[in-house]
């Protein structure tokens, strides 16, 4: 309610949640370079660095954002954040749709991590992120959905499919952003982006047991010539049979064990009625 207290509230948020659970890691999110003041951006990054936590921001999501920053400050959004001391290895930049080569070079040099949200970008007509080019440059990239306001199903399998195909359309090259690269973005790439590589994102000794089992015995997934290609281009969230989070089975044979789905759907329907 009082924007002047935003950083105070942010600090309280971190203090309240940090260390409470191995499954919860707080982070600060500044919406974008045009909706947050320079003071907010700089101080938020200082707080995150002092707490060794990532900071998140929407970056170059729309043409309007880029044009506004150029008009106000005479520089493109990545350079604007760089000059503020915000574009660095602690920053997670979401969307990055309208980046030119010089912008991508700067992002790569600073070690800034990127989250690609292809379906949100399509629904909002923001544009197509040059994800294939960034992957080739070695920029750390993860895959995201954005929120339900701009992406209805939040299905990471659909996100993989869209990411792979949009990159090919953007580059006019069907070989750009191979299925293996997209699967890595959705798993170990996401872990790197969050600063959790070596803990999650891959199945190996020492990592948390975060595992899903995909039921491939389905008509739309047959025949299987390449399992990775099948997962990226043909599977969807409903094909997940079992889910294990940090060694705990939370879904078995498509039945959630920790949530009463009927109660949740009833509550959501009540909320929807109020909104309507």
pLDDT digits (tens, 9 = 90+) for 155-209: 999 999 999 999 999 999 999 999 999 999 999 999 999 999 989 999 999 999 9
Q: Summarize the confidence of residues 124-147 as an average pLDDT.
A: 96
pLDDT of residue 67: 97
- Residue 18 to residue 10: CA distance in whole angstroms: 12
Question: What predicted TM-score, i.e. pTM, was given to this entire model?
Answer: 0.93
Q: Where are the alpha helices (DSSP H) in the chain?
A: 6-17, 38-51, 63-73, 77-83, 101-110, 118-123, 131-137, 156-171, 179-186, 188-193, 227-233, 261-275
Q: Summarize the confidence of residues 37-46 as an average pLDDT.
A: 96
Tens-place pLDDT, residues 88-120 = 999 999 999 999 999 999 999 999 999 999 999
Q: Summarize the confidence of residues 219-232 as an average pLDDT.
A: 96
pLDDT of residue 1: 81
The torsion angles phi and psi of 256, rounded to 5 degrees, stand at -70, 135
Residues 6+ apart with CB under 8 A from 240: 212, 213, 214, 215, 251, 254
CB of 98 closer than 8 Å to CB of 63? yes
């Amino acid at each position: 309610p009082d924007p002047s207290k935003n950083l105070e509230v942010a600090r309280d948020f971190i203090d309240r949640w940090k260390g409470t659970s191995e499954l919860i890691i707080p982070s600060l999110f500044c919406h974008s370079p045009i909706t947050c003041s320079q003071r907010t951006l700089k101080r938020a990054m200082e707080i995150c660095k002092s707490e060794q936590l990532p900071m998140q921001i929407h970056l170059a999501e729309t043409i309007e954002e880029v044009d506004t920053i150029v008009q106000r400050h005479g520089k493109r959004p990545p350079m604007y954040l760089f000059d503020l001391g915000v574009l660095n290895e602690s920053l997670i930049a979401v969307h990055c749709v309208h980046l030119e080569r010089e912008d991508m070079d700067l992002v790569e040099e600073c070690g800034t991590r990127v989250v690609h949200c292809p379906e949100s970008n399509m629904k909002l007509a923001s544009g197509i992120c040059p994800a294939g080019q960034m992957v080739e440059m070695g920029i750390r990239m993860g895959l995201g959905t954005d929120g339900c306001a701009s992406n209805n199903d939040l299905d990471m399998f659909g996100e993989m499919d869209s990411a792979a195909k949009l990159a090919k359309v953007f580059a006019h090259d069907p070989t750009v952003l191979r299925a293996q690269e997209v699967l890595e973005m959705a798993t170990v790439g996401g872990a790197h982006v969050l600063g959790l590589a070596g803990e999650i994102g891959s199945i190996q000794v020492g990592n948390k047991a975060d595992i899903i089992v995909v039921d491939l015995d389905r008509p739309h997934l047959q025949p299987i010539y390449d399992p990775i290609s099948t997962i990226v281009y043909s599977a969807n969230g409903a094909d997940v049979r079992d889910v294990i989070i940090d060694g705990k089975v939370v879904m078995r044979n498509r039945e959630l064990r920790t949530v009463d789905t009927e109660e949740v759907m009833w509550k959501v329907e009540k909320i929807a009625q109020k909104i309507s």
